[in-house]
């Protein structure tokens, strides 16, 4: 299969799964395996196209975020929102820097870990969606700092591949009585610093595996990731308001089962 077509497929997978609770990392690894792609070149490619998904959030929330930035010097509410996102981001910085190499070397090389995380996360979503505490908060820009910090701790669970960054943060928010819509929206806001930092750090460590001849392929994946990510962010809030997160829980169970089938048939090993 030509590289440009692989880039389109991987860009779609990244954009469509980054912001829903099914683990974009697991989906990308499964897709790479299905396409027969391997090696550090494609690992670095998937890191670079994450920027497209990040910019999709910024573009869709630009007016709101720009308003916060303009009011920041004189508006306590704006300062409180920015601080809440930074407080939620902090645990990932500390644990990510400390455990990055271990996670990349061991956990990302373990299909069993990835598939187990998919299944466990799916069961958690099904349970939380049905028996969550009654919500008391519905504005993602006004979460208390303690609530934000706990969400940030939950986000660290996503360092285990297959867990899902958005899934972990959404569950953490709902357990603290945030409604489904605000939980998903705060997950979008938190994605901006978290994914930007992860992108910059991984790019610094992995850029040498790409060369100028890969620029076109990266550009294709970036654009597809941006467009598909924007579609998901725009549609997800209305979807979860109507249907909750149970459909994603069932999807995780199906994908985890598929992964186990690949492992036991010796198609996916590591």
Q: What is the pLDDT of residue 191?
A: 92
Q: Which region holds residue 160: left if phi is over 0, alpha if psi is between -120 and 50, else beta?
A: beta
Among 200-204, 224-228, 265-269, top mean pLDDT goes to 224-228
Helix, coil or strand: residue 178:
strand
Q: What is the pLDDT of residue 248?
A: 94
- Average pLDDT (232-241) is 88
pLDDT higher at 213 or 118: 118
Q: What is the pLDDT of residue 238?
A: 87
* Residue 134 DSSP label: P
Give CA separation, 192 vs 146, 160, 196, in Å.
Answer: 20, 19, 6
**Where is average pLDDT lowest: 134-138, 183-187, 205-209?**
205-209
Quick one: how far is CA 74 from the chain centroid?
A: 32
pLDDT higher at 65 or 270: 65
CB 252 within 8 A of CB 125: yes
Is 90 exceeded by the pLDDT of residue 237?
no
**Where is average pLDDT lowest: 144-148, 161-165, 171-175, 266-270?**
266-270
Is 70 exceeded by the pLDDT of residue 268?
no
Mean pLDDT of the chain: 87
Give CA separation, 117 vs 17, 128, 146, 257, 264, in Å.
Answer: 16, 16, 27, 11, 17
Q: What is the pLDDT of residue 109?
A: 64
Helix, coil or strand: residue 137:
strand
Is 60 exceeded by the pLDDT of residue 138?
yes
* Residue 92 DSSP label: H
Q: How far apart are CA 35 and CA 2, in angstroms?
A: 11
Question: How do residues 4-48 score in pLDDT, each as one tens digit?
Answer: 898 999 999 999 998 898 888 788 877 887 888 877 777 778 877
- Average pLDDT (190-215) is 78
Q: What is the pLDDT of residue 106?
A: 57
Is 80 exceeded by the pLDDT of residue 148?
yes
Residue 20 token pair? 């829903």
Question: How do residues 178-189 score in pLDDT, each as one tens digit?
Answer: 999 999 999 999
Q: What is the pLDDT of residue 209?
A: 64
Question: Comparing C-alpha atoms, which of 81, 47, 57 is closest to residue 231?
Answer: 57
Q: What is the pLDDT of residue 50?
A: 84
Is 60 exceeded by the pLDDT of residue 76?
yes
Q: What is the pLDDT of residue 177?
A: 94
Q: What is the pLDDT of residue 108?
A: 62
- Average pLDDT (127-136) is 88
């Amino acid at each position: 299969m030509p590289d440009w077509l692989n880039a389109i497929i991987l860009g779609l997978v990244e954009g469509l799964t980054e912001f829903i609770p099914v683990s974009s990392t697991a989906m990308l690894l499964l897709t790479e395996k299905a396409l027969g792609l391997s090696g550090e070149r494609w690992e670095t490619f998937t890191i670079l196209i994450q920027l497209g998904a990040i910019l999709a959030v910024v573009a869709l929330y630009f007016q709101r975020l720009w308003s916060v930035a303009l009011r920041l010097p004189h508006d306590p509410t704006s300062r409180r929102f920015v601080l809440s996102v930074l407080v939620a981001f902090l645990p990932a910085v500390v644990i990510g820097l400390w455990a990055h190499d271990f996670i990349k070397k061991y956990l990302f090389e373990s299909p069993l870990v990835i598939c187990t995380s998919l299944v466990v996360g799916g069961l958690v979503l099904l349970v939380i969606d049905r028996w969550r505490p009654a919500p008391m908060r519905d504005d993602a820009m006004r979460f208390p700092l303690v609530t934000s910090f706990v969400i940030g701790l939950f986000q660290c669970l996503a360092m285990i591949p297959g867990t899902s960054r958005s899934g972990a943060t959404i569950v953490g928010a709902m357990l603290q009585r945030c409604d489904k819509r605000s939980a998903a929206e705060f997950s979008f806001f938190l994605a901006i610093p978290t994914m930007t930092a992860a992108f910059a750090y991984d790019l610094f460590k992995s850029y040498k595996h790409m060369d100028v001849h890969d620029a076109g392929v990266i550009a294709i994946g970036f654009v597809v990731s941006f467009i598909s990510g924007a579609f998901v962010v725009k549609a997800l809030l209305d979807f979860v308001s109507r249907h909750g997160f149970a459909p994603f829980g069932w999807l995780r169970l199906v994908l985890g089962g598929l992964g186990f089938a690949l492992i036991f048939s010796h198609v996916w090993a590591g």
